[in-house]
Structure 1
Amino acid sequence: MSKNILMVVTTADKMNEDHKTGLWLSEFGEAYVEFARLGYSITVASPLGGQAPVDSRSLEGETPQDILDTAKHLENTVKLDDIKDHSQFDAIFLPGGHGTMFDLPDNSKLQEIIRELYEVDKVVAAVCHGPAGLVGVRLSDGTPLIAGKAVTAFTDEEERETTLDRFMPFLLETRMRELGADFVAAANWTDHLQVDGNLITGQNPQSTVSVAKEVVKKLS
């Protein structure tokens, strides 16, 4: 039985008038390749639908061709609001990029999907800035999804090192701690993930493959 994965990407393309942003391609591409290799059915969705912007900084340096090739799956994403049947998905995966900090935290449809999947023991996974999509999620009893959970995400220290912290609406690690999460940080730019039941989070771009493999492990 093939598994069905929902990958939700940002459609925010700027931090302010002078600074462009978007999706961090490797965090989408590495996970996509991992899931596609196993024949999983993958739906790529976003808040606005249509073309998802890729942060140009994520294309600097050597990017493997198979990762570059996944960009074609970002050309016509499904609008989140158009997804009616959440039960079809076995897992949701949120890749990062600074864009997620602007359009995922307050997206009520995303919150609804994540809550529904989590409460029926489906897999919820996010990497780097992707966990920005988790901070607004409350369970049916009103408690924050991440309260009391061991999680990680792009750390405040990593954010300051990028010097982009001044453009962020909030710092992700700080927000997650404020919501009662048991936030676990590793050294900057090291491959690090946290697994708490069916909630899987990765710290940075270096952690994407580890998170994707953990999703596969949970689904097999």
Structure 2
Amino acid sequence: MKKILIVETNQTTYGDTKDATGLWLGETTEFAFAMTEAGYHVDYVSPKGGFVPLDPRSMKYADKESMVLYAKKDFQDRALAHTLAPQEVRPEDFIAIYYVGGHGVMWDFPQNQALAEIAEKIYQQGGYVTSVCHGIAGLLNLRAKDGDYLLKGKKVTGFTTAEEILAGKRRVVPFLNQVEAKKRGANFIKKRAYASFAIQDGRLITGQNPFSTKAVAERLLLALQDK
């Protein structure tokens, strides 16, 4: 059976500051729980492989299911301590790739060519490219077969400029996902700040914020079922 690849950050701080960031826990756990409950196997990869830091703020938002998964040794080992490096991933083994958010991804997702090549191959072989919240940063520079940006002409969503301002990080992040997605020709769609919202355009599924993780998972599972 084909597997699903979850992409996480290695970035521990907001740029060169001492302010801690990293993976937003629920964006991995809620998605992984949904996939495994549906019978899919998930693997975890990061730009450098190995250790994935947790954004300390994300812990207080983790639901009961997330904390149960977080406490499991297998999850701690594969998703947090020893994630795969890109060169260890065989794209042909995966039916979908999912880019997790957390502010850290703003620094190590967009320019990682090895991860981009994995995502592009999964998409080209008929798989799904998905993301939630800041995870859309990993989709910004993906290319379609014709050389255009994968996001060009596609309906997408991600952490909005308004949500970045509300989070107090507008002047800290290196760019704004909403702005950059539009620059690449995407039709960026948003709903009320911090409300659950996910959208699908073909084999591209994106979610707006941390509260949209389950909606992304539901859309992907329905798509895989139909396929």
**Shared fold (TM-score greater than 0.5)?**
yes
CA contact (8 A) 1:192 1:207 kept: yes
Contact 2:2–2:93 at 8 Å: present in 1 too? no
Give the deviation of 1:65 after TM superposition. 3.6
Deviation, 1:70, is 3.2
Amino acid at match of 1:6: L
Shift of 1:42: 0.8
The answer for the alignment partner of 1:88 in structure 2 is 93
Q: Which moved more, 1:48-57 or 1:63-72?
A: 63-72
Q: Distance in 1 between matches of 2:196 and 2:180?
A: 22
3-state SS in 2 of match to 1:20: coil
The counterpart of 1:164, out of the listed 150, 160, 169, is 169
- 2:118 aligned with 1:119: no
1:7 is matched with which residue?
6
In 1, Cα distance between the equivalents of 2:159 and 2:96? 21
Query: Match for residue 22 of structure 2?
Result: 22
Q: Determine if contact 2:26/2:63 at 8 Å carries over to the other structure.
A: no
Give structure 1 stretches of 5+ with no counterpart.
Answer: none
Residue 204 of structure 1: aligned partner:
209
Distance 1:114 1:173 in 2: 20
Match of 1:77 in 2: 83
Aligned to 2:73: none
TM-score calculated relative to the size of structure 2: 0.92
Name the stretch that deviates more: 115-124 or 22-31: 115-124
Q: What fraction of aligned residue pairs are identical, expressed as a percent?
A: 37
Q: Once the 2 structures are TM-superposed, how far is the Cα of residue 50 of structure 1 from its aligned partner?
A: 1.2
Q: Tell whether the 8 Å contact from 2:96 to 2:130 is kept in structure 1 after alignment.
A: yes
Q: Distance in 2 between matches of 1:77 and 1:191?
A: 28
Give the letter for the 2:58 counterpart: S
The Cα of 1:3 is off from its aligned counterpart by 3.7
What amino acid sits opposite 1:125 in the alignment? T
Contact 2:95 2:126 in 1 (8 A): no
Q: Distance in 2 between matches of 1:35 and 1:139?
A: 26
Instruction: Quote the offset at 1:113 in angstroms.
Output: 1.1
Tell me the SS of whatever aligns to 2:171: helix
Counterpart contact for 1:3–1:219, Cα < 8 Å: no
Counterpart among 148, 153, 156 of residue 153 in structure 2: 148
Q: CA deviation at 1:60?
A: 2.1
C-alpha distance after superposition, 1:60-114 (max 9, x if no partner): 25x334312433132211111222x211101101110001111000000111111
Correspondence for 1:108 among 104, 113, 117: 113
Unaligned 5+ runs, structure 2: 71-75
User: Which residue does the alignment assign to 2:67?
Assistant: 68
Distance across 1 between alignment mates of 2:171 and 2:150: 27
Q: 1:36, 1:163 → 2: CA distance?
A: 34
Q: Is the 8 A contact 1:46 1:77 kept in 2?
A: yes
CA distance in 1, matches of 2:114, 2:193: 32
1:168: Cα distance to partner?
Answer: 0.7
- The number of residue pairs the alignment matches comes to 217
Which residue is 2:220 aligned to?
215
Task: Tell me which amino acid in the other structure corresponds to 1:68.
Answer: M
Residue 191 of structure 2 corresponds to 186
* Range with greater deviation from structure 2 (114-123 or 152-161): 114-123
- Partners of 1:69 and 1:170 lie apart in 2 by 34
Deviation, 1:17, is: 2.2
